[in-house]
Each structure stands twice: as C-alpha cells, then as structure tokens.
C-alpha cells in the first residue's frame, strides 16, 4: 500500500475533530484527577483508622482494576440497573477517578517530605487545622508533587485513546473509524501517531522545566 496525500487531506479535518475531543476529555479528567487526588490524600491523612482503611480500599480498587474494565462496567453493566449515562461523561469520570487514585499517592508522598517542625509551628501559631491545610500544607504538597503530577496528566492524555472502545470520537477513535470506512489504515493510524507525538511535546517541555526548577 502506498501513501496517498489526497486521502490524507480528506481525512485530516475529521482527525482534528478527534483532537478536540481528546483535549477536552484530557482537561476535564485532569481536573478531576488533580483535585480528587488532593482530597483523597488529605482524607486519608486526617481520617480515623476505619476512614483510612475505607479510602485505601477505593484507592487500591481503582488502581488495581484495568481502566478498560471500569469503562465497560460503567457503560454496559450500569444500564442493567437503570443507570444510563453518555459515553463522554463516563470516559471523563472513569479516567478522572482512576488517575485521582494515582495522584493521591503522589500527594501523600510529597506530604511525607514536609518537615514535622512546620506543623509544630502552625500549632504554635494557633492556626486551625483548616487554615493549616489550606494555607501551608496543601500548597507545599502541590508544589513538591508538580513534576510527578504532570507525568500522570501525560499518561492520562495518552490513555484517552482507550475511549474509542465506547465509541467516543477521540483521535484514536476517529482514526479507527476512518480506516474501517475506507479500508485504508496506513494514513489514519500514522497521522494519529504523529499528532499524538506532537501533542506530547508541550507536556515534555513543561516537565523538563519543572524538573530543572525542582532539581
């Protein structure tokens, strides 16, 4: 099979639609992952033993079950119980929750590196637990965890490709559909790979800057 530039120009607008969905889902899922991960890390830290065990159970569940299994369960099994949701919100929610579990571990690891003397100083200043977390501990956790968190956002961006299994028109889904409809897979899959690589570059640039800053 030879490369057909006319076919490339024909399918490129449709692949760009897939890029739009990919970016949208990445941003929405990342917001859930980064915010939810921080909340989970704080809850696990301040909870009782039972609360910590409960949070840990859900963390291990979402980290231990493959993302595709969770997607299929939410999309195909929940309707059996009368819960029917569109594919795009399901994809955003599942990816966000799964990566929130991973981000939670990053936040918790960064919390461990914060000196205990800092908490003692907050107590000495009579700061409430809420103010201590809001003004002191949480900002430090985020700052120290930033490089690793960006790595997970990059991983989440790549994993949006699995959403084509639910019919979500992400870049991989559009490339697959175009190839199947035209019985030509060389151009759509090659273009998808090149576009994914190009979209990775800003993440990699930011990651290198963050690593230099935290070195």
**Model-level pTM?**
0.89
Residue 161 falls within a domain, yes or no? yes
Q: What confidence score (pLDDT) does residue 213 get?
A: 66
Q: What confidence score (pLDDT) does residue 55 get?
A: 87
CA distance 102 to 21: 23
Q: What confidence score (pLDDT) does residue 130 get?
A: 86
CA distance 172 to 161: 5
Successive 10-residue mean pLDDT values, the chain, 215 residues? 86 92 95 94 86 87 91 92 91 95 92 85 84 87 87 91 92 91 90 91 76 62
> How many independent structural domains does the chain possess?
1
Residue 140 falls within a domain, yes or no? yes
Q: At what angle do helices 186-214 and 138-159 cross, to 10 degrees?
A: 160
Residue-wise pLDDT for 22-62, tens only, equals 999 999 999 999 999 999 999 988 888 888 888 888 888 89
Residue 187 falls within a domain, yes or no? no
Residue 191 falls within a domain, yes or no? no
CA distance 117 to 196: 45
Q: What confidence score (pLDDT) does residue 214 get?
A: 57
Q: What confidence score (pLDDT) does residue 144 get?
A: 86
CA distance 129 to 181: 59
Q: Which residue range is the domain that position 80 belongs to?
A: 20-169
CB 33 within 8 A of CB 100: yes
């Amino acid at each position: 099979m030879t490369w057909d530039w006319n076919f490339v120009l024909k399918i490129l607008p449709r692949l760009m639609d897939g890029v739009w969905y990919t970016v949208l889902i990445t941003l929405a899922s990342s917001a859930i992952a980064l915010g939810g991960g921080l909340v989970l890390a704080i809850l696990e830290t301040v909870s009782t033993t039972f609360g910590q065990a409960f949070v840990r159970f859900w963390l291990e569940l979402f980290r231990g079950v493959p993302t595709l299994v969770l997607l299929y369960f939410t999309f195909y099994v929940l309707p059996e119980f009368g819960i029917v949701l569109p594919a795009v919100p399901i994809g955003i929610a599942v990816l966000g929750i799964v990566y929130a579990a991973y981000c939670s571990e990053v936040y918790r690891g960064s919390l461990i590196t914060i000196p205990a003397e800092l908490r003692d100083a907050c107590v000495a200043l009579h700061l409430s637990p809420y103010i201590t977390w809001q003004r002191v501990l949480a900002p430090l956790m985020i700052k120290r965890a930033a490089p690793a968190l960006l790595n997970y956002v990059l991983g989440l961006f790549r994993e949006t490709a699995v959403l084509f299994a639910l019919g979500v028109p992400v870049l991989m889904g559009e490339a697959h559909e175009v190839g199947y409809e035209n019985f030509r897979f060389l151009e759509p899959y090659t273009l998808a790979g090149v576009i994914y690589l190009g979209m990775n570059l800003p993440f990699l640039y930011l990651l290198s800057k963050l690593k230099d800053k935290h070195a």
